[in-house]
Amino acid sequence: MERAKGAETAAEARAFVFLLLDRFSMIAFAAAIEPLRVANRMARRELYSWRLVAEDGAVATCSNGTRVMVDDGFADLDKDAMVIVCGGLDIAHTATRGALTWLRKQARRGVGMGAVCTGAWALAKAGLLEGVRCTIHWENRESFREEFPDLRLSNRYFERDGARWTSSGGAAASDMMLAMINEEQGRDLAAMVVDQLALTPLRAAADEQRLSVPARMGVRHPKLTEVIRRMEANIEEPISPAVLAEESGMSTRQLERLFRRYLDRSPKRYYMELRLQRARNLLLQTDMSVINVALACGFTSPSHFSKCYRSQYDRTPYRERGVADAAPATRG
């Protein structure tokens, strides 16, 4: 990988510092750094420089096991620099106290802050996303909402709000960086970078993550897709199939037939799978108690939750966490 060396960087180059948290996403990191390299190449001058930092100042390991040598540990930065926090798996634990303290200190110095993949969680935990719009990978949205209920979370590929930039997972990091290049250097250069990297045309910040229900599931029936959207939006307080059918102008029997035809399961079974998938994400991505996870996913009885979870995943919620099961009163 080409690396910009600080001593050789032109005075006007915009400095980026990539904070690589343990088990960071390689694809999100590459999608963020490569547009800067290509922008320099297309402009035939060094518009951007970058350094990699990690807590130990030596090496960072990404989620696929690859080890990346870094340039530095947690040193103070020039106020004109821009930190990009690269997160990945188990962000609640890899965003260490040392990393959060360093982020707060650099923000107080006026350093800009950005994040890719789950890096937004670290910025939120450091108190650096209060009062601004932000986004995170769709898989982490619900756990993020539970942890930071007062933050303005969107479902967009990336967000820019003042000096804060956040992007969702994977290749969406390139959309965020291309938006920066477009803003600072103009659309012509941004378009050249898109062409060189064989990316799709520039996506706007208003574009949302995940495919629509029809595209994601291959379901084209308008009433069925509307019911699925309603289910996805009402996990904590599930709506009965009878009410869902009535709201969609169908009988309960018609709704049953639609689910059997397109999804090979009943509405009740499909809804339960949605709730259990949400529960599994919360168990794996947050420190919420099992009881609170159950309540957040519409289960009023811990024993019923445990029974349903074990039926779906062949393990109890407590085993999912890798800890011993709770007392028999909370087991299914």
Sign of CA dihedral 144, 146, 147, 153: positive
Q: How confident is the model at residue 217 (pLDDT cuts 50, 70, 90)?
A: low
Place of tokens 């910025």: 123
Does 216 score more than 60 pLDDT?
no
What pLDDT, on a 0 to 100 scale, did the predictor assign at position 210? 56
Could you report the per-residue pLDDT of 85-113, keeping only the tens digit for each? 999 999 999 999 999 999 999 999 999 99
pTM: 0.69
Could you report the per-residue pLDDT of 289-307, keeping only the tens digit for each? 899 999 999 999 999 999 9
Per-residue pLDDT, averaged over 204-230, amounts to: 67
User: Both tokens of residue 156?
Assistant: 């967009």
The vertex-250 CA angle with 244 and 252, nearest 5°, equals 65
Does 276 score more than 90 pLDDT?
yes
C-alpha distance across the termini of the chain, in Å:
52
Q: How confident is the model at residue 36 (pLDDT cuts 50, 70, 90)?
A: very high
User: Both tokens of residue 56?
Assistant: 């130990």
CB 178 within 8 A of CB 194: yes
Does 56 score more than 90 pLDDT?
yes
Query: In angstroms, how far is CA 283 from the centroid of its own chain?
Result: 16
Could you report the per-residue pLDDT of 133-156, keeping only the tens digit for each? 999 988 888 889 889 999 999 988
Q: Phi first, then psi: what are they for 327, rounded to 5°? A: -60, 155
Helix (H) or strand (E) holding 320: helix 317-320
**How many angstroms separate the CA atoms of 317 and 308, rounded?**
10
